Amino acid sequence: MQNELKLIDYLQDRHSTPVAQIKGPGPSDEELDAILTCAARVPDHGKLAPWRFIVYRGEVCEQLGEAFLNIALADNPDLPDAAREAERVRFTRAPLVVGVVSTAAPHVKIPEWEQVLSAGAVCLNMLMAANAQGYVANWRSEWIAYDARALELLGVRPEEKVAGFIHIGSSDFPTPDRPRPPLAEIVSYAGHRPA
């Protein structure tokens, strides 16, 4: 009963922390395993597990930042200094980033759309699992999720899509919540005409 109350309290207040406010420490190997294990525990029609994870941390994040910068410069050689720096630190803002990759594909029985939805469920579950381990997190996509050159560097195959990059770390900065849609705007009851 007490656990139920805690869960409802958590859900009523759950929110992300902006990436700019995420610092170290990040999860240990055991904590990360626990986060990924919980994240993978989602509804998944047909038990296809149509998603996979790529963990980015340490030196590789710095190398990726330089590579993102090179791509950005190839597209725009006049990139201002601040934008250059934004590319360099894209994957080092938080102690680690987990790529949630959707491997959804046509299937005889399970609609591809449902496989995609399951990857979205993984992302939200990962945010919550990170919180459960005492960390903060943020679900981002950014241009790198849609650029074939960046995707290749990130280890995402051409037939796959990025559901999200989950940045995970710590923060002691209070995060203001953002407005949530009033129920009246998003709920209708079947059999009644919407107002």
Ligand X SMILES: Cc1cc2nc3c(=O)[nH]c(=O)nc-3n(C[C@H](O)[C@H](O)[C@H](O)COP(=O)(O)O)c2cc1C
Site string for ligand X, 11-30 (x = CB under 6 A): ----xx--------------
Q: Which two tokens stand for residue 65?
A: 């930042």
**x/- map, 95-134, ligand X, by CB under 6 A:** ----------------------------------------
DSSP state for residue 174 in the 8-state scheme: P
- Least CB distance to ligand X at residue 102 (A): 11
Cα–Cα distance, 180 to 12 (Å, whole number):
11
Eight-class DSSP state of 170: B
Q: Would you call 140 helix, strand, or coil by DSSP?
A: strand
Q: Which is nearer to ligand X, 114 or 142 (CB)?
A: 142
Contacting residue, 36, 46, 57, 139, with ligand X by CB under 6 A: 139
CA distances from 77 to 63, 69, 71, 84, 90 (A): 19, 10, 10, 10, 18
For the segment 149-178, give every residue that binds ligand X (CB under 6 A).
164
Q: Contact, 59 vs 29, CB < 8 A?
A: no
Closest CA to 26 of 52, 56, 53, 65: 56
166 strand-pairing partners: 98, 139
Would you count residue 53 as binding ligand X (CB under 6 A)?
Answer: no
> Among 21, 125, 131, 138, which residue sits at the site for ligand X (rule: CB under 6 A)?
138
Closest CB 137 distance from ligand X, rounded Å: 8
Q: How many chain residues are in contact with ligand X, going by CB under 6 A?
A: 8
Q: Which is nearer to ligand X, 176 or 194 (CB)?
A: 176
- What residues make contact with ligand X under the rule CB under 6 A? 15-16, 138-142, 164
